[in-house]
Amino acid sequence: MHPEAIAESHFSSPEVQRHAARLGMWAFLATEILLFAGLFVGYMEYRSLYHESFVQGGKHLDAVLATIETAVLITGSFAVAMAHHYTLTDRNGRAAVGLLIGAATGIAFLALHGVEYVTHFREGALPGKYYTFPEIRTAGASMFFTVYFLLTGLHSLHVLAGTGVLVGLAVLAARGTFSHQNYSAVENGGLYWHLVDLIWIFLYPLLYLIS
């Protein structure tokens, strides 16, 4: 399948088609940013209301694990960027490898994050009515974990989706689909992955680093 080798009949040229696909993806990324924005607002409000609990909660999270997760995601983004470069130079094999590395980092991130979640489940550091964590009893203690689970949960869902996209692209690359005339899918899929990474770059300091 060579979706871009022949321009769709309603576009005036392949270049216009690529431009349209890119613009469409940027518009979609804007919606994702607005989706997370509301949760960031909630974080800011509750942090200012329950400063002490948020400080203690932040200290309690595993910053070391989170730093590893950050490194993992950034590595993945680099691999995806390289994959895009390789499609531009007609090297589908290397592109597939880059995409698969990206997908693997996605899975690694989810696994590490899962470890964090399991720890919290065991301790009872859970949202709302499930909160039974004895070490932090200050007012609004459960709210920190509510915000934490909502932010990281929504983000993890997007990491999962992004991983799926990368796997799909890797399969296409393995079949030799892409070329310097047909690379939009990798470029736009890569854009999506970079956004997922970017959101984590904001979450990481807000949840794990500030105190």
Alpha-carbon span 55 to 46, nearest angstrom: 12
Identify the helix (H) or strand (E) that includes residue 176: none
Alpha-carbon span 165 to 115, nearest angstrom: 24
- In the complex with another protein, which residue's Cβ is closer, 23 or 171? 23
Please count the CA atoms within 13 angstroms of the CA of 61 that sit on its side-chain side: 29
Neighbours of 185 (CB within 10 A): 20
Residues of this chain that interact with another protein (CB under 8 A) are 9-12, 16, 19-20, 23-24, 27-28, 30-32, 34-39, 41-42, 45-46, 49-50, 52-53, 127-129, 131-132, 134, 137-140, 142-143, 146-147, 149-150, 154
- In the complex with another protein, which residue's Cβ is closer, 3 or 107? 3
CB 1, min distance to another protein, A: 14
- In the complex with another protein, which residue's Cβ is closer, 7 or 65? 7
How far does CA 45 lie from the centroid of its chain? 24
CB 43, min distance to another protein, A: 11
CB 30, min distance to another protein, A: 6
**Cα–Cα separations (whole angstroms), residue 184 to 19, 77, 129:** 9, 17, 47
- In the complex with another protein, which residue's Cβ is closer, 86 or 145? 145
CB 206, min distance to another protein, A: 17
How far does CA 12 lie from the centroid of its chain? 34
Widest pairwise Cα distance in the chain? 65
CB 91, min distance to another protein, A: 29
- In the complex with another protein, which residue's Cβ is closer, 70 or 142? 142
